[in-house]
Amino acid sequence: MMGPQGGAGGINPSDAGGLGATDASAAGLTGRDGVMEDKDTIRGLLQPVYFDFDKSGIKESERSKLQAAKEYLDKNPQQRLLLEGHCDWKGTAEYNLGLGDRRAGASKTYLEKLGVPAAKLETLSKGSLDAKDKASDDERAKDRKVELVVLKAK
């Protein structure tokens, strides 16, 4: 397992990528310090990028997280990233899939502008699939994100 990398906004060992202990064990994940790892992925090693309601632009305050992801890939060139777009429960399933895709795409474009090769980046929209239904404003804000999932080299 990778050791923590330094840098502002980079590693978030307290975020397990939204997986609870039951979900993690059911998915065959092992966890340490909030980092969930299976044979193909590492979740929670890099901080998620959060978005404003119904927006897909990268906020200034979130850009350091993508810079940290670039630095991680520079130090671990054998690995790639899955940029997993998420939305809150408001809106139709179809709309939220599109919004999640735009958020993941915006993150990919930003990383490419930082110099990350496109071949090291994949995108996936989860839409509101993992969102908490009828959540409070604070909970919904946590659902509007792109998860930065490390894809292990094979």
Rounded to an integer, the average pLDDT of 106-114 is 98
Eight-state DSSP code of residue 59: P
**Residue 33: inside a domain, yes or no?**
yes
Rounded CA separation 79/119 (Å): 11
Name the domain count of the chain. Answer: 1
| Sign of the CA dihedral with 44 first, then 19, 137, and 91 last | positive
**Residue 2: inside a domain, yes or no?**
no
Rounded CA separation 26/134 (Å): 25
Mean of the per-residue pLDDT values for the chain?
Answer: 84
Residue of 24 and 147 predicted with greater confidence: 147
- CB proximity list for 71: less than 8 A, separation 6 or greater: 5, 7, 10
Rounded CA separation 98/125 (Å): 7
Residue with tokens 């340490």: 32
**Residue 8: inside a domain, yes or no?**
no
Position 34 scores a pLDDT of 82
User: Could you tell me the pLDDT band of residue 134, with boundaries at 50, 70 and 90?
Assistant: confident
Tens digits of residue pLDDT in 36-65: 999 999 999 999 999 999 999 999 999 999
**Residue 5: inside a domain, yes or no?**
no
Position 154 scores a pLDDT of 76
Q: Which domain holds residue 138?
A: 21-151
**Residue 28: inside a domain, yes or no?**
yes
What percent of the chain is predicted at pLDDT more than 90? 73
Rounded CA separation 80/89 (Å): 29
Residue with tokens 């790892």: 37
Q: Identify the CATH number of the domain in which residue 46 sits.
A: 3.30.1330.60
User: Could you tell me the pLDDT band of residue 133, with boundaries at 50, 70 and 90?
Assistant: confident
Asked if 55 contacts 111 with a C-beta cutoff of 8 angstroms, the reply is: no
Position 28 scores a pLDDT of 53
Q: Residue 12 pLDDT > 50, yes or no?
A: no
**Residue 15: inside a domain, yes or no?**
no
What percent of the chain is predicted at pLDDT more than 70? 79
**Residue 1: inside a domain, yes or no?**
no
Residue 80 phi, psi dihedral angles, 5° rounding: -130, 175
Q: Residue 5 pLDDT > 50, yes or no?
A: no
Position 123 scores a pLDDT of 98
**Residue 66: inside a domain, yes or no?**
yes
| Sign of the CA dihedral with 48 first, then 54, 56, and 61 last | negative
Indicate the residue type of 150: V
